[in-house]
Amino acid sequence: MNKPSIYGIHRVLKPQGVLPQAASKIDNTMICGENEILVQVERLNIDSASFTQIKNATAGDFDKMKEMIQGIVSEKGKMQNPVTGSGGMFLGTVKEIGKDLNIDLKPGDKIASLVSLSLTPLKIEKIISIDLHKDQVDIVGEAILFESGIYAKIPSDLPENLVLSALDVAGAPAQVKNLVKENDTVLILGASGKSGTLCAYQSRINAGNKGFVIGIIHSQSHYEEMESLGIFDKIIVADARNPIEVLEKVLNATGGKLVDVTINVVNVENTEMSSILPTKDSGIVYFFSMATSFTKAALGAEGIGKECTMVIGNGYTKGHAELTLNLLRESKILFDLFQKRYGKEE
């Protein structure tokens, strides 16, 4: 390996001169450098867009999914889906800490990575199981965190699976806190997913009682569950890939008014215009979805003469881990939903 870099550049094999996330192959030799953290990995939480693509490409067949995931890691040295470009995060136990690191961490601590698997050196010895509902993969393996990499210690008061699922999308509600203002009308595409429900809850807090929170869900089967949360003023069942349908249903819900903020957290492609069309010229469109084509978004907005501000979702926002976990702590209804979906072991 080359001289250690805080950003992990010394692990890049090809092409030279890029950061690990942009690299097509990185060194996943599991020897802990002086400024690295070596972790024994137990579980991968695959990014929703990536997991959905893998599941669809293999028809949910365990052996084929296993082969595809192992193939990606073997080829790239990291878990970066070649179609979506996204990764996910891991849960594991600290095995070794580089001698140059002075951090509040010790071997034996259980942590969740808060940087993407798309830049994290990873080696999978064995895939034990794949949970199609939680987007999680239990493995025997190891990973390396760089000096610049962020992580969160697993708290003792919340179930591990729940924490892993929530932290995977922690950047979303944390950024929503900065984007949604009091009395705003907010539209959330992909409202029934984990990032969607967290963003909706944070939107409700920010917008207040006079705000109006609309959730777009893809299936009627989620309607009652979403309604029971008491977060949404209106829940709409619509295909987020159909911008005209979405626009018409939103205008019907708002009395003909466009929305102030649109939050896109879907895990399928071609939803850019369904986010842009219902948003005011002075509004904000927040694309947290890794299935977003920013080319389609930019050119699509230009094509309809829309001047809204478009924000790229960043998985990191200062204090995002604690903010997200606190949402689950303060809302029993939200906690129960996450516990039902992600907290319990199968």
> Mean pLDDT, to the nearest integer, of 12-34?
96
The CATH number linked to 282 is 3.90.180.10
Q: Are residues 188 and 323 in the same domain?
A: yes
What total of structural domains would you count in the chain? Answer: 2
Residue 79 CA, distance from chain mean position? 14
Q: Are residues 94 and 238 in the same domain?
A: no
Domain end call among 107, 127, 154: 154
Q: Would 297 be classed as within a structural domain?
A: yes
Q: Would 131 be classed as within a structural domain?
A: yes
pLDDT at 215 over 80: yes
Residue 288's SS3 state is: coil
Q: Which residues contact 195 (CB under 8 A, 6 or more apart)?
A: 48, 169, 172, 173, 265, 288
The predicted pLDDT at position 344 comes to: 60
Mean pLDDT is highest, among 43-52, 274-283, 313-322, for 274-283
Model confidence pLDDT, tens digit, residues 3-21:
689 999 999 999 999 999 9
Q: Are residues 144 and 257 in the same domain?
A: no
Q: Are residues 132 and 54 in the same domain?
A: yes
Model confidence pLDDT, tens digit, residues 246-265:
999 999 999 999 999 999 99
Q: Are residues 194 and 323 in the same domain?
A: yes
Domain end call among 154, 182, 204: 154
Q: Would 159 be classed as within a structural domain?
A: no
The predicted pLDDT at position 346 comes to: 45
Q: Indicate the pLDDT class of residue 291, thresholds 50, 70 and 90.
A: confident
> Mean pLDDT, to the nearest integer, of 263-282?
95
The predicted pLDDT at position 108 comes to: 97
Strand-pair partners of 94: 39
Q: Would 4 be classed as within a structural domain?
A: no
The predicted pLDDT at position 173 comes to: 96
Q: Would 345 be classed as within a structural domain?
A: no
Q: Would 164 be classed as within a structural domain?
A: no
Angle between helix 171-179 and helix 320-330 axes, rounded to 10 deg: 90
Q: Are residues 200 and 242 in the same domain?
A: yes
Domain that holds residue 229: 171-336
Model confidence pLDDT, tens digit, residues 159-193:
888 898 899 899 999 999 999 999 999 999 999 99
The predicted pLDDT at position 3 comes to: 64
Q: Indicate the pLDDT class of residue 27, thresholds 50, 70 and 90.
A: very high
Q: Are residues 221 and 316 in the same domain?
A: yes
In the chain, beta strands by DSSP E? 12-14, 25-26, 37-46, 88-97, 110-113, 122-131, 136-145, 151-153, 185-189, 212-217, 234-237, 259-264, 279-287, 309-312
The predicted pLDDT at position 343 comes to: 75
d(CA 142, CA 45): 14
Residue 213's SS3 state is: strand
Domain end call among 119, 154, 189: 154
Burial of 40 (0-12, 13-18, 19+ CB in 10 A): middle
d(CA 344, CA 159): 8
The predicted pLDDT at position 161 comes to: 85
pLDDT at 2 over 60: no
Q: Are residues 143 and 178 in the same domain?
A: no
Q: Are residues 149 and 236 in the same domain?
A: no
> Mean pLDDT, to the nearest integer, of 99-117?
95
Q: Indicate the pLDDT class of residue 304, thresholds 50, 70 and 90.
A: very high
Structure tokens, 319: 């204090």
> Mean pLDDT, to the nearest integer, of 113-125?
97
Q: Are residues 147 and 208 in the same domain?
A: no
